[in-house]
Structures are given as C-alpha cells and as structure tokens.
C-alpha cells in the first residue's frame, strides 16, 4: 500500500521506499544487519511533474505512483520523512519497472 506523503518532488524526480529484502538465506540462515546490502528495488510513493525539455515543454514521467522499480545501486539521496526512510532519485536512475 502506498502511503500519502506531504512532500512533492520537483520535475523529473521520484520519491521511493526501498523494498526490504529477506532476513534469511534460502538455507534458513539469518543475515545480520551489518552484512546486508541495501535493496535496489523500491516502490514509488511520489512523482514530479515531468522532465523539462530544451524547448520548454514538459515531458510526463513514465514511472507512476505505486510502480515497483529497480534502480542504480549508488543513485539518489536518502531522506527521512515522518520517521520513515525514503530515497529521492531522478527517473533516469530507474533501470526498469517491474510488472506484476
């Protein structure tokens, strides 16, 4: 479920919430927090108005609120809103939209 935020990203930026990875391996071993890598999969919770083109027109974003996406490993800016961690990134950093 997508939570409504009181924050709206500008232009071609997105706000996403990382999807938590499994706490255990397939063999049943628990993975400690220090050994985990941050997820590269997330759920879009807010989108900007679109990318501003050189001719002054605004191109709407392909990514929509509620989409599950994969994004570049070191992209974006981590933020905390109302005690929850989010990531702000540009649509260009999105690798793909995951279909259900």
| Domains observed in the chain | 13-22+32-98 (2.30.33.40)
**pLDDT one digit per residue (tens) for the chain, 100 residues:** 556 778 889 999 999 999 876 555 566 666 655 545 566 899 999 999 999 899 999 999 999 999 999 998 888 999 998 889 999 999 999 999 998 7
- C-alpha 14/C-alpha 23 separation (Å) is 27
pLDDT of residue 32: 59
> Contact at 8 Å (CB) between 87 and 38?
no
Block residue for tokens 């191109």: 59
pLDDT of residue 26: 62
Pairing of strands 51-52, 58-59: antiparallel
> Contact at 8 Å (CB) between 65 and 45?
yes
pLDDT of residue 23: 59
- Distance, CA of 79 to chain centre: 12
- C-alpha 76/C-alpha 80 separation (Å) is 13
């Amino acid at each position: 479920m997508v939570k409504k935020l009181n924050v709206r990203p500008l232009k071609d930026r997105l706000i996403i919430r990382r999807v938590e990875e499994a706490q255990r391996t397939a063999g049943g071993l628990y993975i400690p927090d220090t050994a985990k890598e941050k997820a590269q999969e997330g759920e879009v919770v807010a989108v900007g108005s679109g990318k501003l083109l050189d001719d002054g027109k605004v191109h709407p974003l392909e990514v929509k609120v509620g989409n599950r996406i994969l994004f570049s490993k070191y992209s974006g800016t981590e933020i905390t809103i109302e005690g929850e961690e989010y990531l702000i990134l540009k649509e260009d950093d999105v690798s793909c939209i995951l279909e259900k």
